[in-house]
Amino acid sequence: MRKYYTTEGDTTAKKAKNAYPKLALCEKCVGSYVVISEGERTYDECAKCGEDD
């Protein structure tokens, strides 16, 4: 199962959704991002590797 994470994206972006995108990530992929906050669990596929249960 994956979780939603608010991550650091393009900090020069004018829109918050681009500067701090909310992504569904698996435990393997979350280490390659700078995590701002951790959210609820989800059954959505991982945004980086596409892992799905």
Q: What is the pLDDT of residues 4-32, one digit of tens each?
A: 999 999 889 999 889 999 999 999 999 99
Higher-pLDDT residue of 52 and 40 is 40
32, 44 contact by CB (below 8 A) = no
> What integer pLDDT is reported at residue 53 of this predicted model?
75
> What integer pLDDT is reported at residue 3 of this predicted model?
96
Confidence of residue 49 (pLDDT cuts 50, 70, 90): very high
Q: Output the pTM of the full model.
A: 0.86
Cα Rg, the chain, nearest whole Å: 11
Tokens (6 digits) for 43: 């059954």
